[in-house]
């Protein structure tokens, strides 16, 4: 078997890359370890930058997002017992869209199916080979048969725990990491959201976030100890803890109900450099992880594959390697700005083991400055809505 680009991983990065390449006439083949239902069952990101939506539009997969997505002009910051609105549209002219990662993935899967492109689900033991030569290939096992896929390039879109980054010899890669001493406990419930915009709350008991998937489905998070288990968090305990971290107005309008999903996610900042190893590229979570506080993970996966697809288009259409040679530096420049932003949002909003006294006062001073200064509001806003590509 042969293809131009072998893509490992059918998450948002792999699927979007596949559609972008297809739209440029570059054939590609996706190998995914899990089943489609498993991939669709992962409740993750919920917030899209305009640039991400534009990429979905470019590949014809944005129709439902425009119909069902909720466009938000701002967010609210809650601290010191009251709430403060940040008008991002006024500051930047841009908005963000609430549209779940599961919906993005489903729309991209359907677009891929409609285009008749190959995705092998439940591909076991996927391995990239010879990417430091001109003849890379990928092997995998499906239904006990081993297959070999020859290709021009390999795109490692296989997430943080994938095989692509792990296949690079340690001397060729440098990693940078910060692990945060807490996690996010998240629940999804069939209840109307507490507010029409997101509320990020800094509270002495820990961070809380009120977000949503639709006007009937809410998503809430509370900061929790890393070693907590969801069994320790029956729904009643979750709702009680959330209420303690919100302002009175929010508590009065909060509608609670049974959770339909509950999970704990650790928080981490991680970057691998470079993002290209000969004829293999990394994109999305395979190369970098950010804590969810700035809502950047999925949006970075989208900007990476935008850079990568345009580099590959240049290679095939113009017979120029300039794009692929510049891919890593171009992607990393945007990645590090989002890593900084997510780290900063996380630092400002969470309780750390040493956030008492001085640390808490500094957080409050920063939040007060943020809501009181036009320049600070503009800086937060331009990062939150997404820096230009």
User: Which of 196, 361 has the CB closer to ligand PHB?
Assistant: 196
46 forms part of the interface with ligand PHB (CB under 6 A): yes
Known catalytic membership, residue 296? yes
Closest residue by Cα to residue 138 from 130, 152, 128? 128
By the 10 Å C-beta count (0-12 exposed, 13-18 middle, 19+ buried), 305 is classed as buried
Binding mask 149-188 for ligand RFL (x = CB under 6 A): --------xxx--xx--------------------x-x--
Q: Fill in the DSSP letter of residue 168.
A: S
156 neighbors 286 (Cβ within 8 angstroms): yes
Give the Cα separation of 65 and 58 in Å (integer): 13
User: Which of 106, 141 has the CB closer to ligand PHB?
Assistant: 106
Which one of the spans 103-111, 121-129, 292-300, 301-309 is the region binding ligand PHB (CB under 6 A)? 292-300
305 forms part of the interface with ligand RFL (CB under 6 A): no
Give the Cα separation of 388 and 361 in Å (integer): 33
Known catalytic membership, residue 389? no
Task: Name 267's Cβ contacts closer than 8 Å, sequence gap at least 6.
Answer: 179, 180, 182, 183, 184, 291, 292, 293, 346
The 3-state DSSP class for residue 288 equals strand
Q: Where are the beta strands (DSSP E) in the chain?
A: 2-8, 28-31, 47-49, 70-72, 74-79, 82-87, 96-98, 119-120, 124-129, 137-142, 145-156, 174-189, 199-201, 208-212, 218-224, 259-273, 276-277, 280-282, 288-289
Distances in whole angstroms, Cα of residue 345 to Cα of each of 77, 207, 308? 11, 11, 28
Known catalytic membership, residue 307? no
34 forms part of the interface with ligand RFL (CB under 6 A): yes
User: Which of 43, 275 has the CB closer to ligand PHB?
Assistant: 43
Q: Choosing among ligand RFL, ligand PHB, none, which partner's interface includes residue 305 (Cβ < 5 to 8 Å by kind)?
A: none
Give the Cα separation of 46 and 93 in Å (integer): 21
- The residue from 128, 180, 292, 327 that is catalytic is 292
Q: Where are the beta strands (DSSP E) in 88-144?
A: 96-98, 119-120, 124-129, 137-142
Q: Choosing among ligand RFL, ligand PHB, none, which partner's interface includes residue 126 (Cβ < 5 to 8 Å by kind)?
A: ligand RFL
293 forms part of the interface with ligand PHB (CB under 6 A): yes
Residues pairing with 141 in the sheet: 124, 146
Sequence length of the chain is: 389
Q: Choosing among ligand RFL, ligand PHB, none, which partner's interface includes residue 324 (Cβ < 5 to 8 Å by kind)?
A: none
Report 186-215 residues binding ligand RFL (CB under 6 A). 186
User: Which of 19, 293 has the CB closer to ligand PHB?
Assistant: 293
Among 5, 16, 39, 47, binds ligand PHB (CB under 6 A): 47
Residues pairing with 270 in the sheet: 177, 289
Cβ at position 103, least distance to ligand PHB in Å: 12
User: Which of 177, 261 has the CB closer to ligand PHB?
Assistant: 261
5 forms part of the interface with ligand RFL (CB under 6 A): no
222-245 burial, b if ≥16 CB within 10 A, otherwise e? bbbeeeeebeebeeeebbebbeeb
The 3-state DSSP class for residue 149 equals strand
- The residue from 12, 22, 72, 220 that is catalytic is 72
Cβ at position 387, least distance to ligand RFL in Å: 13
User: Which of 338, 367 has the CB closer to ligand RFL?
Assistant: 338
Which one of the spans 131-139, 278-286, 293-301, 314-322 is the region binding ligand PHB (CB under 6 A)? 293-301
98 forms part of the interface with ligand RFL (CB under 6 A): no
Please count the residues of this chain forming the interface with ligand RFL, following the rule CB under 6 A: 36
Known catalytic membership, residue 72? yes
Task: Report the interface residues with ligand RFL, using CB under 6 A.
Answer: 8-14, 31-34, 39, 44-47, 101, 123, 126, 157-159, 162-163, 184, 186, 265, 284-285, 292, 295-299, 301
Binding residues for ligand PHB, rule: CB under 6 A, are 45-47, 198, 211, 219, 292-295
């Amino acid at each position: 078997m042969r293809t131009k680009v072998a893509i490992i991983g059918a998450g948002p990065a792999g699927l979007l890359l596949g559609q972008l390449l297809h739209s440029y006439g570059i054939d590609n083949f996706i190998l995914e370890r899990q089943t489609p239902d498993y991939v669709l069952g992962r409740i993750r990101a919920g917030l899209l930058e305009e640039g991400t939506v534009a990429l979905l539009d470019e590949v014809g997969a944005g129709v439902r997002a425009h119909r069902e997505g909720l466009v938000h002009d701002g967010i609210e910051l809650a601290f010191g017992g009251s709430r403060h609105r940040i008008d991002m549209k006024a500051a930047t002219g841009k908005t963000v869209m609430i549209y779940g990662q599961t919906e993005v993935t489903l729309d991209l899967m359907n677009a891929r199916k409609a285009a008749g492109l190959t995705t092998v689900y439940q591909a076991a033991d996927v391995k990239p080979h010879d990417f430091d030569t001109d003849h890379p290939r990928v092997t995998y096992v499906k239904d006990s048969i081993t297959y070999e896929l020859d290709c021009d390039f390999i795109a490692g879109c296989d997430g943080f725990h994938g095989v692509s980054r792990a296949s690079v010899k340690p001397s060729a890669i440098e990693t940078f990491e910060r692990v945060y001493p807490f996690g996010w406990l998240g629940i999804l419930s069939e209840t109307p959201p507490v507010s029409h915009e997101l509320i990020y709350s800094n509270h002495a008991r820990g961070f809380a976030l009120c977000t949503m998937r639709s006007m009937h489905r809410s998503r809430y998070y509370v900061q929790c100890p890393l070693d907590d288990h969801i069994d320790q968090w029956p729904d009643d305990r979750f709702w009680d803890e959330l209420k303690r971290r919100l302002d009175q107005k929010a508590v009065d309008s909060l509608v609670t109900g049974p959770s339909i999903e509950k999970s704990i996610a650790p928080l981490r900042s991680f970057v691998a450099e470079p993002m290209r190893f000969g004829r293999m590229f990394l994109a999305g979570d395979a190369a970098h992880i950010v804590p969810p506080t700035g809502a950047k993970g999925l949006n970075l996966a989208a900007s990476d594959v935008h850079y990568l697809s345009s580099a590959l288009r240049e290679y095939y259409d113009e017979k120029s390697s300039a794009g692929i040679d510049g891919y890593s530096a171009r992607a990393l420049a945007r990645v590090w700005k989002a890593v900084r932003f997510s780290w900063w949002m996380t630092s400002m909003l969470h309780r750390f083991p040493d956030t008492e006294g001085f640390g808490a006062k500094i957080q409050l001073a920063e939040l007060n400055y943020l809501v009181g200064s036009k320049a600070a509001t503009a800086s937060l806003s331009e990062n939150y809505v997404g820096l230009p590509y």
